[in-house]
Chain A
Amino acid sequence: MKQQDIKTEEKFMSQNIWLSISAGMVFLLLSVYSLIKHDIEEILIVGMSVLFYMVIVIIYLIKAGFPLKMYFKYAYKDEFLNTIDTNAYKHTSIAFGLCLLGVFYKSDAIPSEVSHAAMAVFYLGIMLLVYGASLLWQSRD
């Protein structure tokens, strides 16, 4: 195992944590926002804000040399990073399962106007946030 591979994995992990948390928060805000009625101006502001976030993320990914190819690797070579990544997936699965259970038992309380797309964005937000938060917590010194 090369030390350069480890450095790349460490860099990917730290950037991925903040990317997951920020994307999760944006998704959650969007799903909550979609529950409230709005006029066209507010929707434009939110749309522009999301677009701004995406531009910032893309600039950051390019400038910081984000190792995108890591997304296509099944596992980390470093033992500790691989362990916390696996644990984070477990935490994400549990959180997703709890969300589904909550929706199953409280389905009557969810307004009929809430679309499947809004629910999908909500689930994605929860999963990304839990994944990022779990990695952040486990990788503390």
Chain B
Amino acid sequence: MQNHIAEFRKAAGLSQQELADAIAVSRKTISTVETSRFTPSVIIALKIAQRFNTSVEHLFTLDDGD
């Protein structure tokens, strides 16, 4: 699964820590989700989408192997 969180975050002018603070998770959560090393729960995915006023489908895209 790929995601566009880093692009949305940079476009919004936020650091990883600021995004983490906004949705009440650790900075490592944002860092590892952005690099696709950690797949977040639906709750975190929805919180991130809500923060960027977009849908989860715009943030996350499935790979062929998923």
Q: Which of B26, B33, B40, B44 sits near A81, CB closer than 8 Å?
A: B26
Interface magnitude class on chain A: 10 to 19
- CB under 8 Å from chain A, chain B span 7-66: 20-21, 24-29, 31-33, 38, 40-41, 44
| A9 & B24 in contact (Cβ 8 Å cutoff) | no
- Which one of A3, A80, A139, A141 contacts B24 once the chains associate, using CB atoms below 8 Å? A3
Q: How large is the interface on B (under 10, 10 to 19, 20 to 34, 35 or more residues)?
A: 10 to 19
Contacts of B24 in A (CB 8 A): 1-3, 6
**Taking CB as reference atom, which chain A residue is nearest B29?**
A80
The 8 Å CB contact of A78, one of B21, B25, B31, is B25
Chain A stretch 55-110: residues in CB contact (< 8 A) with chain B: 78-81, 83
Are A10 and B25 in contact, CB atoms less than 8 angstroms apart? no
In contact, A78 and B38 (Cβ under 8 angstroms)? no
Which residues of A pack against B, CB within 8 Å?
Answer: 1-3, 6, 9-10, 78-81, 83, 139, 141
Could you jot down 24 A-B contacts, CB within 8 Å? A1-B24, A2-B24, A3-B21, A3-B24, A6-B20, A6-B24, A6-B25, A6-B26, A10-B26, A78-B25, A78-B26, A79-B29, A79-B40, A79-B41, A79-B44, A80-B29, A80-B32, A80-B33, A80-B38, A80-B40, A81-B28, A81-B29, A83-B38, A139-B28
